[in-house]
Every structure is written in structure tokens, then in C-alpha cells.
Amino acid sequence: MERVYLDYAATTPVDPGVKKAMEPYMDKDFGNASSLYSMGQQARIAMENARKRLAATIKADPGEIVFTSGGTEADNLALVGVAMANRKKGNHIITSKVEHKAVIETCESLEKNGFRVTYLDTDKYGMVDLEQLKKAISKKTILVSIMHVNNEIGTIEPIEKIGKMCKEKGVYFHTDAVQSFCKIPIDVKRMRIDLLSASSHKIYGPKGVGLLYVRDGVKIEPMLHGGGHESGRRSGTENVAGIVGFAKASEIAIKEMDKEAKRLTALRKKLVKQILTNIPNSHLNGHPEKRIPGNANFRFDFIEGEALILKLDMVGIEASTGSACSSRDLKASHVLTSIGLSPKQAHGSLRITMGRFTKQKDIDNVIRNVPRIVKELRKFSPFKKGWD
């Protein structure tokens, strides 16, 4: 049976071109980028070229890029790094209730260490309210962290307006751009972004490598101490092959960005239209227009998403319900409950995320199978009575 992978927001396969670019740095050019002999220098040059390329994708300078082990570490470093370096100035951080757990749980950890955190509500589409944000900023506020694109529902946050507001108030602005990096345009200068997180494995690069952009002049306290790598901001022997792969992945993604965005938007529009017209009591989660091209998130009354995922898996379709990170525990997704859904409604959700290798026929396959399976599950649904 042919497998149809539709979980690109969880991770992506490594592009063949990326794999090829990485190979030399795993055998003949395996040197340590800090070594002085020529093989080490070869590695250093490759890494610095990668830094330049990645910086250019967001209009940053190479010196503003700190390589990390992924998006999670970048988020942790942004929040803890800024908090620790600015604790004399204030102890207040503002974020939202729909952030990735790498941001929310880092904030919760900071709360245990004397910081105060405001978790902003969003509207029913998962959009942060600028007025509420403005009111929340006080003299004690040092950092605002709002994601660019939501990983579950695909909503694009108004980060340019948030950046402008933070700039006016003299507060640092961090954005988790893991789901938008190299998929929609980012300009850190125009958007007034001080810190930005990105991850390689969401853009057809290898797992275990990411970056934090730290605007020149923004001080962060390092979390990892040791050899003083990354200009003292993140110690540890550099993952040269991973970094080279990450840069190659960004190069391919930027080159194909416009074309790919158009293609995925067309696929998504068709999918959404067909599902919503063919299945009664079905809904779209997230914003109808302001969303990342490849994300469709549905909600079906009277059924459990988990059962739907398993039935889809039986016909070869791989998708998710709630967030991939929490798909093993039965707690409803914090994003879906934050946008106003009951736990039951949240459990009836299906996230389909498309990407580079998604074809029209894959979407037709979903359009063919989902209505049939939803109907089947509803026949035996114990939820029909007392559905809220």
C-alpha cells in the first residue's frame, strides 16, 4: 500500500540535495571546525558559508546567527538568555496561550525562578489581540514572545505590528518562526524582530540542528558553557554536517518558496472546500485566510480524532490530531482549548499538513477517504447525545 505522508508540520524528509551536501562533512571533511589544520579550517569555512546563507534568508547579518540543536533549544535560549541578561531591568515576560510547548514550558520554568509571565488570550482563530498586548506591557516587561505561525492551526500572527509595538515600548521581541522559516517571507529588520527561532527538520533538512537569530546589540546569557563556541553564546563542538544541510535546505526552500506557496494554497483550498461540503457538522480550525499555505485543520462533531487517525493509517494516510508532541497523551491540545473549543471538540480534530512531496492525487485520496471514515465512526459514536 502506498503511504501518503501528510504531517509536514511534525517533521519532513531530508531532501536528496541536502543529503548530498552533507555527506563530505561526515567522511573526508570530518574535522573539528575549531582545529587549526586545514581539514578543520575546511569545516569552518563550510560552516561560515552556511551561516551567511541562512542569515540572508531573513535579512540578518551572519554574526547574528547562533546555531543550536533545534527549535526547542533556540526557544529556550531566547527566553532564558534574555531573562537572565535583563533581570536587573525587569522580571516580566509576555507570551500567548497558543505558543509551542518549548516556549510555554520555558516560561513556566522561569516563573518558578522569580519571573512573572502574562499568557495572552487569542480570538477564535488563534490570533493574538494587539490591544490586549499593549495593555499588558509595563515598566517591568523585558520580552514579548509571540510565534510567527502556529504549528497546529496554521494561523499567521501579526508579528510586524507586534514588532513595531515592542520597539516603541523598548521591549525585546522574540518570535518562534519554526513553521514559517523559508515558507513565507521574513525580514527581521522590517519586522523589528530581536530574536527568532528556526529549525532544520521542518524545512527538509536533518533533525537536531536549528538557529537563534539574536539582533546585534541584544545581550543573552548563554545556557551551555564550555568552549565558547558561537561567540560565547552557545558552547559545544559545531554540528558541521547538520549546519551545512540546514543551509542547503534553506537554499532550496527559498528558491521554490513562491511557487510552492501557490501550489500548496491551491491544494489546501480544494481540500477544505471538499471536506466542509461533503461532511456535515465539520469545521475548519484556525484562520480561514491568514494561515500558512500547507496547513488544514478540521474538526468533526461526534467523533474522536484518535480513532480517525488510526482508521486513516489503515488506508496509508499519515496525519495527526492535536499536536504531535502531545499525541501520545490524551490531554486535549492546549492550542485548541485556548481558541475556545471544549476538550471533546478538540479531540475531534484532524491536522493535515502538506509539503514538497504532496501531490494532487494524495489530496484526492484524503477527500475520498475522510468522509467515509467519519460517517462510519459517527454510526457508533457514543458522543452523539450530550455533544457540546
Ligand X SMILES: *Cc1c(COP(=O)(O)O)cnc(C)c1O
Interacting residues with ligand X (CB under 6 A): 70-72, 75, 100, 102, 147, 151, 176, 178-179, 199, 201-202, 210
Whole-Å CA distances, 312 to 64, 151, 323, 343: 44, 21, 17, 22
| Per-residue 3-state assignment (H helix, E strand, C coil) for the chain | CCCEECECCCCCCCCHHHHHHHHHHCCCCCCCCCCCCHHHHHHHHHHHHHHHHHHHHCCCCHHHEEEECCHHHHHHHHHHHHHHHCCCCCCEEEEECCCCHHHHHHHHHHHCCCCEEEEECECCCCCECHHHHHHHCCCCEEEEECCCECCCCCEECCHHHHHHHHHHHCCEEEEECCCCCCCCCCCCCCCCCCEEEEEHHHCCCCCCCEEEEECCCCCCCCCCCCCCCHHHCCCCCCCHHHHHHHHHHHHHHHHHHHHHHHHHHHHHHHHHHHHHHHCCCEEEECCCCCECCCEEEEEECCCCHHHHHHHHHHCCEECECCCHHHCCCCCCCHHHHHCCCCHHHHHCEEEEECCCCCCHHHHHHHHHHHHHHHHHHHHCCCCCCCCC
Task: Dig out the grid coordinates for 187 from the structure.
Answer: 525580514
CA dihedral for 230, 232, 234, 235, sign (positive or negative): positive
Write down the catalytic residue from 107, 166, 182, 325: 325
Q: Which is nearer to ligand X, 55 or 196 (CB)?
A: 196
As measured in angstroms, the least distance from the Cβ of 176 to ligand X is 5
CB atoms within 10 A of CB 352: 29
As measured in angstroms, the least distance from the Cβ of 383 to ligand X is 30
- Grid cell 501528510 is found at 6
Q: Is 107 a catalytic residue?
A: no
Q: Which is nearer to ligand X, 65 or 147 (CB)?
A: 147
Q: Whose CB is nearest to ligand X?
A: 71
Q: Which is nearer to ligand X, 202 or 351 (CB)?
A: 202
Q: Which is nearer to ligand X, 148 or 311 (CB)?
A: 148
Select from 305, 308, 306 the least CA-distant residue to 373.
308
As measured in angstroms, the least distance from the Cβ of 275 to ligand X is 23
Q: Which is nearer to ligand X, 72 or 338 (CB)?
A: 72
As measured in angstroms, the least distance from the Cβ of 228 to ligand X is 24
As measured in angstroms, the least distance from the Cβ of 202 to ligand X is 6
As measured in angstroms, the least distance from the Cβ of 256 to ligand X is 20
Q: Which is nearer to ligand X, 179 or 381 (CB)?
A: 179
As measured in angstroms, the least distance from the Cβ of 273 to ligand X is 26
Q: Which is nearer to ligand X, 31 or 71 (CB)?
A: 71
Catalytic residues: 325
